[in-house]
Chains A and B, each alone.
Chain A
Amino acid sequence: MLLIRCPYCEEERPELEFRNAGEAHIARSANMAGESDDDFEKFFFIRSNPKGIIYERWRHMHGCARFFNAVRDTVTDKFVMTYKAGEPKPSKLPKNSNEVVAK
C-alpha cells in the first residue's frame, strides 16, 4: 500500500483513502460544443500511457475529498510529487531517488 501526500491535508496518507482519476492536464474546452471531431477524439479518447513519468489526477476520496494532481513514475510506482488541482504542470521535477549503494 502506497503512501500518498495529499496537498490539501499536507501529509502522507494511506493509499486506501485515495482513488485514481486518470490522466491530468487534459483541459475541457471552453467551447465544448464547437470542438472538431479530431479535437474531441484527442480530449476524450487519447491518453499518453507513458513508461516513466506520468501526470495523474487522484482524489483523496476518503479524506478531504479533494481532487489533486500527482507526478508518478510508472516504472518504480513512486510518487515524485503532488500538487493542488488547478495548479500548472510543474516545469521542473524534484530529484526523487533514495537509492543508495551498500558500502
Chain B
Amino acid sequence: MIGAFRIPGAGRFKQAKTARFSFDGQSYTGIEGDTLASALLANGVHLVGRSFKYHRPRGILSAGAEEPNALVEIKRDAARKTPNVRATVQELYDGLDAQSQNRWPSLSFDVSAVNDFASPLFSAGFYYKTFMWPKAAWKSLYEPKIRAAAGLGVSPDQPDPDHYSSRYAHCEVLVLGGGAAGIAAALAAAETGVRVILADEQAEFGGSLRFESGAKIDGQDGFAWAQGAVAKLAAMDNVRVLSRTTAFGYYAQNFVGLVERVSDHLKTPGHDLARERLWQVRAKRVVLASGAIERHMVFADNDRPGVMLAGAARTYLNHYGVAVGKNVGVYTANDSAYAAAIDLKKAGINVAAIVDLRDNPTGPAIDEARALGIEVNFGRAVIRAGGKLRVSSMTVQPKNGGGERTIPVDAILMSAGWTPSVHLFSQSRGKVAFNDETKRFVPGTYAQDCVSVGACNGTDGLSATIDEAYAAGAKSAKDAGAKTAKGTKPKVDASENWSRGMLGAAPGAGPDTTVKAFVDFQNDVAAKDIRQAVHEGMRSIEHVKRFTTNGMATDQGKTSNMHGLAIAAETLGKPIPEVGLTTFRAPYTPVTFGAIVSHARGPLFDPTRKTAIHPWAEAQGAVFEDVGQWKRAWYFPKAGEDMHAAVDRECVAVRKTAGLFDASTLGKIEVVGPDAAKFMELLYTNPWEKLEPGRCRYGIMLREDGFIYDDGVVGRLAPDRFHVTTTTGGAPRVMNHMEDYLQTEFPHLNVWLTSITEQWAVIAVQGPKSRDIIAPLVEGIDMSDEALPHMSVREGKICGVPTRLFRMSFTGERGFEVNVPADYGQAVWEALWAQGQKHGAAAYGTEAMHVLRAEKGYIIVGQDTDGTVTPNDAGLDWAVGKKKADFVGIRGLTRPDLVAKGRKQLVGLKTKDPKVVLEEGAQIVEDPRQAIPMKMIGHVTSSYWSENCGRSIAVALVAGGRDRMGDTLFVPMPNGAIEVEVASMVFFDETGGRLNG
C-alpha cells in the first residue's frame, strides 16, 4: 500500500519502487521519486508542523522551495540531524526518518498552542514593546526565555560527519531555473558552443511543466519534452546540467553561489560522496529563468492543514499521482486554479465548489469547469476555513456581504495569482518596476550582465516565454563571444494561459483585529498585524517588515511579500509603487554551514606550518605552541618535568654549556641589487652604507608615524646583497611593507626582494660551548674570534651542505645561527645535537628563548612594543642614524607627542619579593592606596621566573620610566598590591662580556 490518496494511473512514477519512511515515529510507505510532502499527502497526512509564534497546526502549502510551513527535521543518525528541511523539497528514500518541529509534547497536542488563544498579547511588535523594563531583567530573564522559545528546529549537537565540497566554475552563459524558459535559453546558448551551466533546484527539470497538463512542445507532452531537452544538453561537452541545485546568492560581476544537494536524497550516500557541493560560478552572462510563485488567498484561518496552493495540488496530482483530498474546494481570483479543479475532477476527485472572487470572468477554463459539472460561484469570497488539525469546511459569502454558506471540504485549493520570482534579479542590484496593469513587480533596470525570461520577467504564456527565452539564450551567448548559432527553436503546440489575480487581503480577512488571515505563514504575520503596524506609525515598508517580521527569516517573502505590501499600501492610502518593495536578501533558501565552509575544516581550517626540524622536536616529546600559523617547540620536558622545571633546566644549560634552538620560523628576506644598501638606509633607522660585507647589524624598522614596526639582525653578504631577518609573526607584513616602498616610493632603486624564510632552516647554537659544538662540522670558515667576531656572517659548508653561518646572539651568550637549506635542516640539527651531547647541551624551546632574552633586556616587537612605542621609548635610540637625511619614520619621530616628556618607556622591574612573578599585562600605579579608578602609569609587558638570576624578572612600559630608576611602584592585584622596584632591563651579565666569552 503506497497511500490511500495515490490515484492509480496518475503521476509519473508508475514503475517506481516503494520506499518506507517514518514521520514522528509512525511508519508509512511512499515511492521513489516522491518528496516527503507528496508521500505524506499520499498517506492522507496534512498536519506536519506547528507555526513559529502561535504554534498553530500547519500543513503543506506548496510543492516547492517556497514552502513556509512544512519544515521538518530529517535524521540519519545521532550526528546527522538536519532541522528546517522543507518536506516539499526533501526527496524520499527508503528508511527516511522525519520529525515534526516546534511542538511539545506532540504534533496534535502542543502545549504552547496556548499562544494562539493568548494571541492578543502577541501582537505585532510584541517583543519590542514588552521586554523593555526593567533593564536588568533582559539578560537574566527575558533573553533566555525568548531564546528558548524562539527559533525553528533544533541544531544538531555533534560534529557533522559529512563532508562538503566546493568548486569554482566559469562559463559564458549561466541559466538559473530549469523550467520551459530556462531550458529554451540553455538550448539556444549551448548550440553556439559556448560553455553553459543550467541549474534547477528540483530533482527533475521542467518547472511548471510538472503540473501543466495542457502544455505540448515539439509534439510532446511538456514535461516529456523538458526531459528530452535536458538529456540532450547534458550530453553536450560544453554544458553542465545541475539538478537539485539552488542559486542562493547573486553577487558582483555575475558571481553566483549555487548549492548542489548531492546525497541527501540517497539511502546510502557512500563515504566519498559529498553531502553538498558549493559552486561558485563566474558567468559572462546570466539568464534568470526563476519562474513565478503562486500566492495564497488571505482569509480567516487560511493556514489550516489542507488549505494549499492550487498549483501545488496540481503538481501532487499530475506529477506524483496524489490527491490532496477527496472533496476539495477551490478559492481563486484568477484562472489558474480552474485548471487544478479540472485536473482533479477528471481524476475522479469531487470538487465541491469553485469560489471566484471576480465578478464575471469568462474563458475556456471556466467553460470547461462548468462542462464537467463543477459548481462555480462568482463574486464570492471564502471568509473562513473550518476545522483545526485539518480543514473541514469553507464558509462562503458574497464579497459585498450577505448570507453565509458553509460547504464541507477536506482541502481548499487557492490562488490569488502568480508573483514573478525576482529574488535573484533583486540580489544582483537590479531595480524592479511595478506594472500597474498586471499588478506585478518585474525586472526594470539591470545592474549586471543578465537578463530575465519567462514568468520571472512577467511574460505570460508558454509560446511567448519560449520565444523570449530562446532569443535571450542566443543573445547572451553571442554577447559572451559565441560566433555561430545553428539550433532550432522549440515549437509550442499547446499551452495554458492565465494571468492577473489579486493582491492583499480578501474580504475574508475582515477588518476585525481578532481574525487570523495569514499573510506570512512562516512568521505568523496576519493581515491585521500589517494594518496595526501602519496604525502605530510605520510608514516605510522596511519598517513594516521589521515591526511585523513579514517576509523575514528563511522565507524571504516568497509567498507573503506582495500581499503584505498591498495591505500596507491600502492602509496607508498610497499606490503600491510609492510604498516600495523590501529588499530580497541572499540566501534565496537556507544554506548549510557545511556548504559554506566546505573544505575549510579540520586540517584545512587554516594552514598549519611546521619547520624542517619539527619531526625531531616531536620525537623528543616537545610541547608546541602556536605562533601565527606556525607550530613552534615551546619546551622539551624530560620525564617527570613540568613546564617550569623544563624551562629552568633549558635556561641554565644555555648559560652553563650550550643550547640548540630551532629558529627556522624567523622571517628572512634577501635584498639584492646595486642599490641594496640605499634601500636598507630608507627602510631601517640604522645606517647601512658602511656596514662591511661579512658583518651584521641589529636593525629597527619604523612605520611612517615613527613607531617600531619590526626588528631583526641583518647580515651583509656582499656589497649588493643583504640577508635580512624579521620577527616570525612579522614576516609577511614586513615583506609587504618593503615591497610597497620599493615599488611605489623608491622605484628608481635597482634592488629586489625575495622571501627566503623557507629556503633556510635555522639552528641557533648558543652558549659558552657553542663554538666547540659547531666547529668540527664546518668547512671553509675560520671560526676564531678574530676571523668571526660577534655580529658577523660567513658562507661556507657544514656537514657538507651550504651554510650561511651567523655569529649572533639572542641570549647574551656566545652564539651562532646556522642557516642550511631546509631539506637538510633536520639532518644538520641531528649532527649538531650529537656534537652537543658531548658537551652537555640541551635543546630549548620558545619559552626558554623568551626568558633568556629578557634576562638580557632584548625586546620582542609585538610583546614589549604595541605599535605606540618609539625607538627612544624602547631604549634603542642608539640604533637610529642621527646623520641620516631620510628613512621611513624620520618625520614621525619628531611629532610633538613623540618627543614630549613623560612618555612610557621600557624599564626593568624587580619585585620586592624575588619569588613573586608578575602577571604580564598587569597595570602599574604609584600609590596603591589611591581611590579607584587609580591612575595607571604603565603595564608589565614581559615577566618570567629567571633561574639564572635566582629571582623573577619583568619588563614594563612605565611613564617616564628611565627617570624612575630605583623608585618603588606597585602592581595592584586582586590579593593586594605587589611592590616593585624600577631597574635596568639588563638583569644578567650587565657588561655583556659573555658574548665573547
Contact = CB atoms under 8 A, between A and B. Distances in A.
Partners in one complex: yes
Interface of A: 1-3, 14, 19, 21, 28-29, 32-33, 35, 37, 40, 44, 57, 59, 61, 65-67, 76-78, 85-86, 98-102
A100 B450 CA distance: 10
B959 to A, nearest CB: 23
B448 A35 contact: no
Contacts of B449: 98
A70 to B, nearest CB: 13
Interface string B431-460: 001000000001111111100100001000
Contact of A44 (B442, B447, B892): B892
Contact of B891 (A1, A33, A57, A100): A33
Contacts of B404: none
12 contacts: A1-B251, A21-B740, A28-B745, A32-B886, A33-B894, A40-B892, A76-B429, A77-B252, A85-B744, A98-B446, A102-B446, A102-B452
B466 interface: no
B94 interface: no
A85 B894 CA distance: 30
B451 to A, nearest CB: 8
Contacts of A19: 736
A40 B891 contact: yes
Contacts of A40: 891-892, 895
B752 to A, nearest CB: 11
Contacts of A65: 739
A1 B280 contact: yes
Contacts of B743: 66-67, 85
Contact of B740 (A33, A44, A67): A67
Contacts of B251: 1
A37 B896 contact: yes
B845 to A, nearest CB: 32
A76 B253 CA distance: 11
The B interface is mostly helix, strand or loop, or mixed, namely: mixed
Interface in B937-982: none
Contacts of B824: none
Given A21-B740, A40-B895, 15 more contacts: A3-B255, A3-B282, A33-B894, A37-B895, A44-B892, A59-B736, A59-B739, A65-B739, A66-B743, A99-B446, A100-B445, A101-B444, A101-B445, A102-B443, A102-B444
B744 A99 contact: no
Given A3-B282, A33-B890, A37-B895, A67 B252 contact: no
Given A32-B886, A102-B446, A2 B252 contact: yes
B704 interface: yes
B444 A86 contact: no
A58 B21 CA distance: 56
Nearest to A35: B891
B747 interface: yes
Contact of A3 (B253, B457, B739, B894): B253
A66 B705 CA distance: 24
A29 to B, nearest CB: 8
Nearest to A36: B891
B920 to A, nearest CB: 31
Interface string B881-916: 000011000111011100000000000000000000
Interface in B478-536: none
Contacts of A1: 251-253, 255, 280
Contacts of B896: 37
Contacts of B443: 102
Given A77-B252, A101-B445, A67 B891 contact: no
Contacts of B705: 44
A14 B442 CA distance: 31
A37 B896 CA distance: 8
B446 A100 contact: yes
Given A33-B890, A67-B739, A85-B744, A98 B252 contact: no
A-B interface, 4 closest residue pairs, ranked by CB to CB distance from nearest: A67-B743, A3-B253, A32-B891, A33-B890
B885 A33 contact: yes
A63 B170 CA distance: 19
Contacts of A35: 891
A40 B736 CA distance: 23
Nearest to B254: A3
A37 B282 CA distance: 48
Contacts of A28: 704, 745
Contacts of B445: 99-102
A25 to B, nearest CB: 11
Nearest to B429: A76
Contacts of B442: 102
A32 B314 CA distance: 78
A55 to B, nearest CB: 13
Interface in B334-377: none
Nearest to B735: A65
A34 to B, nearest CB: 8
Interface in B749-771: none
A23 to B, nearest CB: 12
A72 B207 CA distance: 40
Contacts of A57: 744
Nearest to B448: A98
Contacts of B252: 1-2, 77-78
A85 B747 CA distance: 10
Contacts of B891: 29, 32-33, 35, 40
Nearest to B280: A1
B868 to A, nearest CB: 15
Nearest to A3: B253
Interface in B270-286: 280, 282
Contacts of A67: 739-740, 743-744
Nearest to A33: B890
Nearest to A39: B891
B447 A99 contact: yes
B282 A86 contact: no
Nearest to B252: A2
A59 B282 CA distance: 22
Contacts of B740: 21, 59, 67
Contacts of A32: 886, 890-891
A28 to B, nearest CB: 5
Contacts of B744: 57, 67, 85-86
B599 to A, nearest CB: 15
Which of A32, A85, A98 has the most B CB atoms < 10 Å from its CB? A32
A59 B740 CA distance: 9
A11 to B, nearest CB: 13
A6 to B, nearest CB: 14
Contacts of B886: 32-33
Contacts of B892: 40, 44
B748 to A, nearest CB: 10
Contacts of A100: 445-446
A102 B459 CA distance: 13
A21 B739 CA distance: 12
Contacts of B255: 1-3
A29 B448 CA distance: 42
A1 B253 CA distance: 8
Contacts of A98: 446-449
A76 B429 CA distance: 9
Nearest to B885: A33
Nearest to A27: B745
A14 B251 CA distance: 13
B448 to A, nearest CB: 7
Nearest to B894: A33
A100 B892 CA distance: 50
Contacts of B747: 85-86
A19 to B, nearest CB: 8
B1 to A, nearest CB: 52
A103 to B, nearest CB: 10
Contacts of B253: 1-3
A66 B739 CA distance: 9
Interface string B207-251: 000000000000000000000000000000000000000000001
A2 B280 CA distance: 12
